[in-house]
Chains A and B, each alone.
Chain A
């Protein structure tokens, strides 16, 4: 259990640093910016207490906001997907047995499940994030385009990262 906690804290720090110093500096096609940091919320253990999901998402969003001069937008969107997560997992695998000690990832759940899970949460997160930042509806089309493109890139990076850290089962 302690090991799991340390692993998640390490993941938190690494993802925040990667986001601030690498992904926030990447500019694909002028304005596309992947927000890979939410991988932390996606990968929190299944047994995580619900309130802890929300609080850790809050702290995560706060850290990103703190460093990237955006106030509140990353908190709101991260907390939002943390709230959706338990319901989504229940919907995707209704017969899930917690006692099996499964962890979220391609090796336990398979590629299809993981792609669907990532796509839904990343899409919701990015669209809330981009709309909260713009706060204006007369720029609807432009925002939709940017949010859509960024979503695709984030999903791509997350799925690739799954294969990079793939550990074959013993």
Chain B
């Protein structure tokens, strides 16, 4: 025993090093299932408040751009109202989804796994697994909520998988993010008989309970035909500019609970 203690003491520097590295690796492994990340970050008021102060200052530098974006969006909405009025069709009240506006208080695009923090939390009705969109297209999924803040797993993440479809023919495909390039993603699992052209629009499929159908994801940039394989792929340009996110909307699916119960019921039988 005495020798063991002497041995440990002699190499204490090395053992302390190993011990600290073990803590780091434990943290890393726990955050691999991204829930671990949530516990440490999103529930934290301190980092949230600090980031809010920072964005309060830096937002002034992007006021011109934000205004431009809001103007464009308003124009789009006004035009939409006009078409409804002219058509004199009774407006369908789709009450399935509800939007919650939020401000981005921290964001990154250069990590392999990127997260976005928003200034809305459970007090405002935000829950885990809600979709987040910008005025241009989809942004990510809420994975953590505290009282006043929420953490969003960006589309720019190793584990992001969004169920997408090709607008022109309604064929399903998957969106993944592989290259660290915040403007581009990859469309996977495209059946070989489909021909995609540059500029084809990719939208959400509406199959998941997270996003409503028809929200823009991106546009086809290149179509790759893999010889001898059943499925092709394509590189797409994201509709959302992830490097300039300021205002986003969190989407609440009011019927989610009901649909979830139905699914559970079927699975149990």
Instruction: Please report the C-alpha to C-alpha distance between residue A1 and residue B183 in the assembled complex, in whole angstroms.
Output: 51
Partner of A70, one of B20, B111, B179: B111
**Does A8 count as interface, using CB distance less than 8 angstroms?**
no
| A65 and B113 alpha carbons, distance in the complex (Å) | 13
Q: Known: A30-B182, A132-B28. Is A68-B40 also a contact (CB below 8 A)?
A: no
Q: B31, A71: Cβ atoms under 8 Å?
A: yes
- Write the nearest CB–CB distance from B116 to chain A, whole angstroms: 9
Tell me how many residues of A have a C-beta within 8 Å of chain B: 35
On whether the beta carbons of A76 and B41 are closer than 8 Å, the reply is no
The chain B residue sitting closest to A145, CB to CB, is B180
Given A51-B13, A134-B112; A75-B36 close (CB under 8 Å): no
Q: A76 contacts which of B24, B180, B183 (Cβ < 8 Å)?
A: B24
Alpha-carbon separation in the docked complex, A65 to B108 (Å): 13
- Residues of B near A99 (CB, < 8 A) are none
Q: Which residues does chain B contribute within 8 Å of A134, judged by CB atoms?
A: 112
Cα distance, A68 to B30, chains bound together (Å): 17
Contact status of A75 and B23, CB under 8 A, knowing A50-B13, A68-B108: yes
Question: Is B209 part of the contact surface with A, judged by Cβ < 8 Å?
Answer: no
Among A32, A33, A71, which residue has its beta carbon within 8 angstroms of that of B40? A71
Shortest distance in angstroms between B106's beta carbon and chain A's nearest beta carbon? 8
Evaluate contact between A79 and B28: CB separation under 8 angstroms: no
A32 and B14 CA atoms in complex are apart in Å by 33
Contact check, A61 vs B24: say whether CB atoms are below 8 A apart. Answer: yes
Q: Which residues of B contact A136 (CB under 8 A)?
A: 158
A168 to B209, CA, bound (A): 65
Name A's B-contacting residues (CB within 8 A).
21, 24, 27, 30-33, 50-51, 54-55, 58, 61, 65-73, 75-76, 79-80, 83, 132-136, 139, 142, 146
Interface residues of B (CB under 8 A from A): 12-14, 16-17, 20-21, 23-28, 30-32, 36-37, 40-41, 44, 47, 50, 54, 106, 108-115, 117, 151, 158, 178-183, 243
